[in-house]
A and B are shown apart, each in its own frame.
Chain A
């Protein structure tokens, strides 16, 4: 936001352009371990991602950490080993082996292939807070005109912290599309799904957090998502309301301020963001990331989109392709697809 007010002044001084790209050099760099994982009271599998960090201005894939020994420890209970399902991606094998229990604390233990050990500070799964109602507002000027917000009664005791996320599911019948352009023309090859399949869409990069510091015991009404208007059909969303620890909240709050920093003079001084992972082998080693334990409420919502008279805004259709349906079906797999029927989905 701070950048914006500067921009206002900049623009008001009749400038053509106030922002341009510059080249900067980066010296001495040391790669650090990144841990990204979570457990909750919702059923698993729970996933932990291990990577090594990249220099800030460099493009490229973060280097995955393969062959590590990863386990989740329930304090005063079982220790469950995770399986490397794909390089650098570790998962609990079966949702029945381990399910997060409200009131219990969990931490992560890692031993990398080179023998270095790491651990996370334990986090307790806090009681989830129910979502009361939701509200949809139509804002015709926005590209995504539907604004979805929820209403939650904050518990009477002080010190509740929240994180909100959402997932949009839609049933799909095409599991693969490939486009070809050649002299014969433009072709779109489509393959049907072999099973029932849902596409998943979410907001990556959104940090929606809240604290009851100022509204303790009253209603909290966060805006959750902005939704498109490509059809009048209801839009299916599962809203996740996580009850999170103070440490987790502070971590994300710092992240949120720092990624919005514009380097300007009203920025908060940037600082190292401490996650909850530390080195056991070398306590002075800087480890990045977070392993969280949260109590989550999932609320499936069919967001109505037929209460306005404005015309729908279908997505721009690409130039004409000749569609060819391929005979072989494709499995419902990948980051943005699932064959598991989402909670609250009505056929």
Chain B
């Protein structure tokens, strides 16, 4: 599949021109379209914006008009639209948890409505996985997509009181993790670096606090999240497996509000305030841990010396310039420190007494939302994201600091054009500049013996353009088809090494080195990414959906540990490291029952990943100048079945999922030393065949509800040793087959009780409680299985290797969080 990606130097200019043309076209099209609109006027347009009392857009509210009724759902900005003949209509807007809104509309020309929905007294509050219209799962062409609102996430049981977005993701089908405390998540057999994590469109390179126990998103600031594990719209690209699109809240228009929470691990504080009423508003949300205070109190010698803390800060400004223009500015900062004794995690070969890890994220984004006409909207964004992990060693004679950095600067233009009731087009283009500093090692004390190391910076440009059409063929069928085209160029300055032909890439086989001047194209890749989803209705409240998607990835994390450390190195594609390309086919059957109160679906997928990386054994990737000598690129394949049942109404609500999936990788090479485990498919580190998740929510009364979360998964693959032997009196295990054993199965039950604020609107101050018990039946789930033997010289040839299970969380962990709003 990768063959058409490789192009010769000659055609590079052509490709660049092509992208430039596409770019200019995309910026010109909107103007011509809006010009066309003015000439045709058989019908008039009714536009509307639905908001809640706080002025926040209501996503997925159902809008019904006329007799016979036409129904649409509001989009992610709260907008809806009808094309109607002139006349008088009755309009009704409904959304779960809100009072219905009705109005008689007289349409004589184009009209724009502002609708405000009033929240109901919470009679029947449910765990809502989504607030989209009731039958959206069946009627949209989307598949492999889940959306969760923050109110649903907040009800789930927590670990030590922290509402965690990534942990909640793991209750959805197709999402797994290699273990408690692992960095990142795996989607449909993809690696953790194959997920594009966006916070208000800005990419986040490391979504973990405390190595991997918590995610970096402050729940107070988040509005909702959408995970695309299949059926990814073409506006997203750059990663091979999934997109996690996290949207932040819109700051409150009308009044100043302070909210926050106190938990066991960390505390939160948020302020929302209008700057100019109805025009401009702002929020700042902060979170800080106090584990540094907590650890020494425990008086356990091992952890007295461990240092672990984090904070994060999220801010957003919304400015409504006029009815047609809005500006959004988002910024996010986060900082983590983690100190451990020893240096084996550091991966730089120095015998240190302790290592301090620090990782920082800084992001900034500006989005301009413009309404050209009732049929055409645009979002123009400028985004920047920077991630910099640092490792330092304090010992005087080896005092050193290793700083790495990855930064992404991006411009993006996205347009939506609603041609008529049958066709809605989305199109746009983006340009990304990647700048990587793979590593700078510097001594930090005058008497340090460490010599500085400076790895050459890397630079790359990615340009992409896309177009997609959401085509409602008839009442029963619809098709979303689109195409994304992406070009990636690795730019100088830098060195490219030539290796002897017919020999493995190894320092020993270097022939010569080519130098490329600044901004010269060192290597280019390009390719088309078709995206297709088709739906046909079957029976009542049922549909069958089919889809195909291709995704390309030009930036990867190189790490030969089971879960990548926050300090793991990122690498751009270059002449030796080809981009990862995934092709995914999926088919699903979606059926709603009992007036859409029960949703069910079965989805099947098969995914192929080209150029999935594996590593030569024993190579230190961290300070290696020619990374290609350590990487072997193979083929990945994964396939699975996802079953999902959800009950949406009543006192007891919730969902149950079962996933069967496999994920394997195969490395082939002409050289026997590069074929780990004799060139067969072997399971990836995150191959977990069976996963069951269950969420149950029980509504007791308007103030109290209970949530339970049960999860079961097969143990992750590990490699056990076959033999043992001794050389120079040292006991050595011998491994022959990769990942053929598994750690024991994982299962856990969590429960929580939520006490909502007293519904008394006259009081300004309200507070709520979340009481959680994580791992209720205190199962010691294996985090790892490891072997030890006594190295006793008397019995050294007789020792038995004993196997041990390590459980990170070996008991039930209760926690209490208090949240307030003022």
A60 to B731, CA, bound (A): 14
Please give the number of chain B residues whose Cβ is less than 8 angstroms from any Cβ of chain A in the complex: 95
B735 at the interface (CB under 8 A from A): yes
A273, B784: Cβ atoms under 8 Å?
Answer: no
Taking a contact as CB atoms under 8 Å apart, the answer to whether B784 and A56 are in contact is no
Which of B118-126, B217-225, B496-504, B716-724 binds A? B716-724
Are the C-beta atoms of B563 and A266 separated by less than 8 Å?
Answer: yes
Per-residue contact bits, chain A 269-291, to B (CB 8 Å; 1 contact, 0 not): 11111110000000000101110
Question: Which residues of chain B from 330 to 365 have a CB within 8 Å of any chain A CB?
Answer: 338, 340-345, 348-351
For A5, give the chain B residue with the smallest CB separation: B340
Taken together as a complex, chains A and B put the C-alpha atoms of A215 and B719 apart, in Å, by 35
Give A221 to B728 CA distance when docked, in angstroms: 23
Judge if B298 is at the interface, Cβ distance under 8 Å. Answer: yes
Taking the closest CB of chain B, its distance from the CB of A153, in whole angstroms, is: 10
Chain B residues lying within 8 Å of A270, measured Cβ to Cβ, are 719, 721, 733, 735, 738
Instruction: Return B777 CB to nearest CB of chain A, in Å.
Output: 15
Q: How long is the Cα–Cα vector from A207 to B344 in the complex, in angstroms?
A: 14
Find chain A residues with CB under 8 A from B495 CB.
none
- B contact residues around A34 at 8 Å (CB): 725-727
The answer to whether A254 and B563 have CB atoms under 8 Å apart is no
Chain B residues whose C-beta falls within 8 Å of the C-beta of A205 in the assembled complex: 729-731, 791
Closest to B743 in A: A263
Q: Does B562 lie within 8 Å of A5, measured CB to CB? A: no
Contact yes or no, B340 A62, CB < 8 A: no
Q: Which one, A11-19, A102-110, A169-177, is touching chain B?
A: A11-19
Which residues of B from 99 to 124 have beta carbons under 8 Å from A? none
- Please encode chain A, from 41 to 81, with 1 for each CB lying within 8 Å of some chain B CB and 0 for all others: 00000000001011111111110000000000000000000
List the B side residues contacting A112 at CB < 8 Å.
none
Asked whether any CB of chain B lies closer than 8 Å to the CB of A93, the reply is no
A9, closest chain B residue (CB): B808
Which A residues, 1 to 55, have Cβ-Cβ distances below 8 Å to chain B? 1-24, 26, 29, 31-32, 34, 36, 38, 51, 53-55
Residues of B within 8 A of A289 (CB): 725, 727
Is B179 part of the contact surface with A, judged by Cβ < 8 Å? Answer: yes
If A10-B807, A61-B797, A204-B791 touch, whether A214 touches B450 (CB-CB below 8 Å) is: yes
Given contacts A12-B298, A56-B723, A215-B450, contact A269 B802 (CB under 8 A): no
Q: Which residues of B contact A288 (CB under 8 A)?
A: 723, 725, 727, 732, 734
Query: What residues of chain A lie closer than 8 Å to B182, measured between beta carbons?
Result: 265
8 Å CB contact of B813 from A6, A13, A53: A13
**CB–CB B560/A259 < 8 A:** no
- List residues of chain A with CB within 8 A of the CB of B807: 10, 15, 18-19
- A87 on the interface (CB 8 Å rule)? no
With A24-B803, A262-B784 known as contacts, the answer to whether A61 contacts B724 (CB < 8 A) is: no
Number of interface residues of A (CB under 8 A): 89
Interface centre among A18, A59, A217, A260 (most CB of B within 10 A): A18
A61 proximity list for chain B (CB < 8 A): 797-798
CB of B617 closer than 8 Å to a CB of A: yes
Pairwise interchain contact A36-B724, C-beta atoms closer than 8 A: no
Q: Is A330 an interface residue (CB 8 A)?
A: no
Is the pair A53, B734 in contact by a Cβ cutoff of 8 Å? yes
Q: Among B618, B806, B813, point to the contact of A18 (Cβ < 8 A).
A: B806
When C-beta atoms are compared, the residue in chain B nearest to A220 turns out to be: B449
Choice from B350, B449, B727, B736 contacting A218 with Cβ under 8 Å: B449
Residue contact B561 to A268, C-beta cutoff 8 Å: yes
Nearest CB of A to B737, in Å: 9
**Is B804 within 8 A of A22, CB to CB?**
yes
B34 at the interface (CB under 8 A from A): no
Q: Which residue of B lies closest to A165 (CB)?
A: B728
**Which one of B14-22, B299-307, B371-379, B583-591 is at the A interface?**
B299-307
The answer on a CB contact under 8 Å between B724 and A53 is yes
Q: Known: A56-B724, A259-B733. Contact between A254 and B785, CB under 8 A?
A: no
Q: Report chain A residues within 8 Å CB of B723.
A: 29, 31-32, 53-56, 288
* Residue in B338, B722, B735, B797 whose beta carbon sits within 8 Å of that of A26 in the complex: B722
Do A3 and B786 have beta carbons less than 8 Å apart?
yes
Give complex CA distance A10, B306 in Å.
Answer: 13
Check: B780 CB closer than 8 A to any chain A CB: yes
Interchain pairs with CB closer than 8 A, number: 281
Residue of A nearest to B729 (CB): A204
Measured CA separation A102–B345 after assembly (Å) = 37
Q: Name the contact of A6 in the complex, choosing from B351, B719, B806 (C-beta under 8 A).
A: B806
Contact status A62-B726, CB under 8 Å: yes
By the criterion CB–CB under 8 Å, are B803 and A261 in contact?
Answer: no
B476 within 8 A of A: no
User: A250 interface residue, CB < 8 Å from B?
Assistant: yes
Are B811 and A13 interface neighbours, CB within 8 A? yes
Q: Does B787 contact A (CB under 8 A)?
A: yes
CB distance from A285 to the nearest CB of B (A): 13
The reply to whether A204 and B345 contact each other, CB–CB distance below 8 Å, is no
- Most A C-beta atoms less than 10 A away, residue of B449, B736, B744: B449
Residue A228 interfacial (CB < 8 Å): no
The answer to whether the Cβ of A222 comes within 8 Å of any Cβ in the partner chain is yes
Say yes or no: is B809 at the interface (Cβ < 8 Å to chain A).
yes
B798 with A56: CB separation less than 8 A: no
Q: When each residue 172-188 of chain A gets 1 if its CB lies under 8 Å from chain B and 0 otherwise, what string results?
A: 00000000000000000
Set of chain B residues within 8 Å of A272, measured between Cβ atoms: 617, 734-736
Indicate if A338 sits at the interface (CB-CB under 8 A): no
| Binary contact track B276-297/A, C-beta < 8 Å → 1, others 0 | 0000000000000001001100
CB <8 Å contact, A223 and B351: yes
- Cα(A254)–Cα(B620), bound, Å: 10
Given A15-B809, A263-B785, A265-B182, A24 and B453 contact (CB-CB distance below 8 Å): no
Residue contacts A-B, CB under 8 angstroms, 7 given: A8-B306, A24-B785, A57-B803, A61-B798, A254-B618, A259-B732, A264-B806
Interface residues of A (CB under 8 A from B): 1-24, 26, 29, 31-32, 34, 36, 38, 51, 53-62, 202, 204-207, 210-211, 213-223, 250, 253-255, 257-275, 286, 288-290, 335-336
Q: Using A3-B806, A273-B735 as known contacts, list a sample of 11 further A-B pairs with CB atoms less than 8 Å apart, ordered by residue number in A.
A: A2-B345, A6-B181, A13-B813, A22-B782, A32-B734, A36-B727, A57-B800, A264-B179, A264-B562, A272-B736, A288-B727
Of all A-B residue pairs in the complex, the 6 with the closest CB atoms, nearest first, are A271-B617, A59-B800, A205-B791, A263-B784, A1-B342, A265-B563
Chain B residues in the interface with A (C-beta under 8 A): 178-179, 181-182, 211-213, 291, 294-295, 298, 300, 302-303, 306, 338, 340-345, 348-351, 397, 400, 441, 449-451, 453, 560-563, 565, 615, 617-618, 623, 673, 676, 685, 718-736, 738, 741, 743-744, 780, 782-787, 791-793, 796-811, 813
